[in-house]
Amino acid sequence: MPAKTGEQYKQGLREANNNVYIHGERVEDPTTHPAFKNVIDSMANLYDLQHEKPEKMLYTSPTSGEKVGMTFLRPESIEDLAKRREAIQEWARTSGGMMGRSPDYLNAEVMAMGVANDLFAEDDQMFADNARRFYEYARENDISLTHTLIHPQVNREKAQHEQKDANVALHLKEKREDGIIVEGARLLATQGGITDEILVFPSTVKPAGELDDPYSLAFVVPNNTDGLKFISRESFDYGRSEWDHPLGSRFEEGDAIVYFDNVFVPWDRVFVCGNSSICNRTFLETNAVVHMSHQVVAKNVVKTEFVLGTVLKLMESIGIDGFQHVKDKGTEIMLTLETMKSHLYRAEQNATLDKWGTMTPDFEALNAARNWYPNVYPRLVEILRILGASGLMGIPTEADFQNEELGPIVNRALQSKNMEGYERVKLFRLAWDLTLSSFGSRQMHYEYYFFGDPIKMRMSYFDGYDKEPYKAYVQDFLDQVKSSKPSHV
C-alpha cells in the first residue's frame, strides 16, 4: 500500500488488535475508545492530508513508482530538504505543533538508518540489509511507528547488569536459528499501541558499557506481535468538547510503558543484537539524529508561531498590549521564533551530501536549536501564563454558555476589549490548554525531555564543541597586550 488514507490507518489498527491497556483494562478497539479515538482521528487527518495536497505531501517512490509520503524522502539536494520541511510543517500546522509524534519524526529516523546502514554491518551484513529493507517497507506501506529508547528508572547510579533485578529492563534472552527472544520493559512509547510497529533503539545520550551488551538491541516488530503489551498512562483527553479542551480533545497522543513478554523477533527485523559499541554510535553515525532534529526544529518553528499567535491575541483581547513589560514578553517569543527560523535556514543552506549521497542538514545549527528549545519552551508557556493571569481560571465551559440562565451572564461578564464573552473564553481556554491543563503540562514535559535528558545532552554538547579556536583567539589577544612580566613572578 503506498501513501495511506486516514481510513486505511484506522482499519489497520482495528485489524491489528494490538495489546493496549489503559486504566487496568484491555482496549478492544482503540478507534472507538474514548482515550484514543480523538487522537487517532487527528492522525487519520494527517494521512488524508497527504491525498488532499499530493503536490506537497507525496513523491514518487524510486523503487515502486508509487506515490509515497514526502516525510520518507531521502533528500538529495537542498531543494529536497525544503520539500521535506514543507511537508513536516504542513502536518505540524494542523495541531499547532502539539503532536510531537506525528509520523514524520520516526520516518526521518527510519530513512537515515536505512540509507546510512554500514554501521550495522560491523556485526553482520544482514543487519545493514535489514535496515535498508525496513526503510523501503515502511515507505512503501506508510507504516506508522512508535519507539522506545530507555530502560525503566530503577537505579540510575547503576548500569543495567548491576541492577538488583537485572531482568527488569528489556534484554536478549535467547538467540535462535530464526531470530531472538527478548524480555523485559522499555519506556516510553508515545503513541504506543495506536501505531503499526514499534522501533526499539538505544538511548540517544546514555552510552552503555560492554557488560550491558544483552540490553544493547535495535529491532522493529509489529505492535500486535505475540507477547507485546502497551500499558498506557491515564488519558488527558477527558472526553470534553473541542470548545472546552481545544488541544487535549484532539491531540492527546498518550504515552505507554512497553512490556515484552518473551517476544520473538525474526532475524530480518534485527539491526543490532547485543552490541553496546554499535548502539552507542547509532544515532550519530547514521545521521539519524540530524534528520530527526531537522523534523523537530521545523515542527517547533510552527509550535512557536502558534504560541506567539495565542499570546498576541490574548494581549490584544484584554488591552494589555500597550504595556511595556507585556511588549517585552511578546518580543521574547518573537525573538525565539526568529532564532529558530534562522537555525533552520542555516541548517538547510549549509547542508552537504554525506558519504551515502544524502543531503544532510548542518548539524551545528540543528544541534544548537535542539539543545536550546527545551529550556526556552517552558519560558514561552510561562509568559502565556503570566499574561493570562486570572483569565486562565475564569473559563466557564461550553455548557455554561449554553445554559439559558447563565449564558447571557458569562457572555457579558467575560467580554473583553474586542470580543464577546463567548469568543474571549474560547481563546482563553486555548491558552489554558497550552499552559495549565494536564495536556499543556505534558507538552512542557515533552519538550524538555523527549530527545533525552537535556542536562546530559548539554554536557555532551560542551564536550563535543570545538573550543580550541576561541581559546586560541583570546590567548592571541592576551599575547598582544603590551606588558612586561616582572622578573619576580
- Residue ranges of the annotated binding site for FAD are 147-149, 153-156, 190
CB of 18 to ligand FAD, least distance (A): 16
Which of 190, 282, 416, 437 binds ligand FAD (CB under 6 A)? It is 190
**Contact between 78 and 32 (Cβ < 8 Å):** no
CB of 112 to ligand FAD, least distance (A): 17
- Touching ligand FAD, residues 325-354 (CB under 6 A): none
Q: β-strand 352-353 against 359-360: which pairing, if any? A: antiparallel
CA distance 296 to 344: 10
CA distance 347 to 360: 9
- Touching ligand FAD, residues 129-158 (CB under 6 A): 147-150, 153, 156
Q: Give the three-class secondary structure for 350.
A: coil
CA distance 254 to 446: 11
Which of 188, 315, 337, 414 binds ligand FAD (CB under 6 A)? It is 188
Please state the φ and ψ torsions of residue 281, each to the nearest 5 degrees: -105, -5
CB of 445 to ligand FAD, least distance (A): 5
Q: Which stretch binds ligand FAD (CB under 6 A): 35-43, 217-225, 430-438, 447-455?
A: 447-455
Q: Which stretch binds ligand FAD (CB under 6 A): 10-18, 243-251, 420-428, 438-446?
A: 438-446
Q: How many residues bind ligand FAD (CB under 6 A)?
A: 18
Q: Give the three-class secondary structure for 293.
A: helix
73 binds ligand FAD (CB under 6 A): no
CB of 225 to ligand FAD, least distance (A): 18
State yes or no: cis peptide before 366, omega within 30 of 0: no
Residue with cell 494527517: 46
Which of 33, 84, 294, 442 binds ligand FAD (CB under 6 A)? It is 442
Of 8 and 203, CB closest to ligand FAD: 203
Q: Which stretch binds ligand FAD (CB under 6 A): 53-61, 341-349, 371-379, 448-456?
A: 448-456
Which of 55, 178, 455, 484 binds ligand FAD (CB under 6 A)? It is 455
C-alpha dist (Å) from residue 288 to 180, 185, 316, 317: 25, 24, 42, 43
Residue 461: closest CA among 364, 379, 361, 341: 364
Please state the φ and ψ torsions of residue 239, each to the nearest 5 degrees: 75, 20
Which of 57, 189, 425, 434 binds ligand FAD (CB under 6 A)? It is 189
CB of 246 to ligand FAD, least distance (A): 20
437 binds ligand FAD (CB under 6 A): no
Which of 21, 243, 267, 450 binds ligand FAD (CB under 6 A)? It is 450
**Contact between 424 and 417 (Cβ < 8 Å):** no
461 binds ligand FAD (CB under 6 A): no
**Contact between 199 and 191 (Cβ < 8 Å):** no
**Contact between 197 and 13 (Cβ < 8 Å):** no
Of 189 and 359, CB closest to ligand FAD: 189
Q: Which stretch binds ligand FAD (CB under 6 A): 233-241, 392-400, 450-458, 479-487?
A: 450-458
Which of 125, 445, 470, 473 binds ligand FAD (CB under 6 A)? It is 445
**Contact between 361 and 372 (Cβ < 8 Å):** no
DSSP 100-164: TTSTHHHHHHHHHHHHS-GGGGGT-HHHHHHHHHHHHHHHHHT--EEEE-B--SS-TTS-GGGSS
Q: What is the pattern of x (binds ligand FAD, CB under 6 A) and - over residues 221-260?
A: ----------------------------------x-----
- Tell me the three cell numbers of residue 264: 520473538
462 binds ligand FAD (CB under 6 A): no
449 binds ligand FAD (CB under 6 A): yes
Binding site for ligand FAD (CB under 6 A): 147-150, 153, 156, 188-190, 255, 442, 445-446, 449-450, 452-453, 455
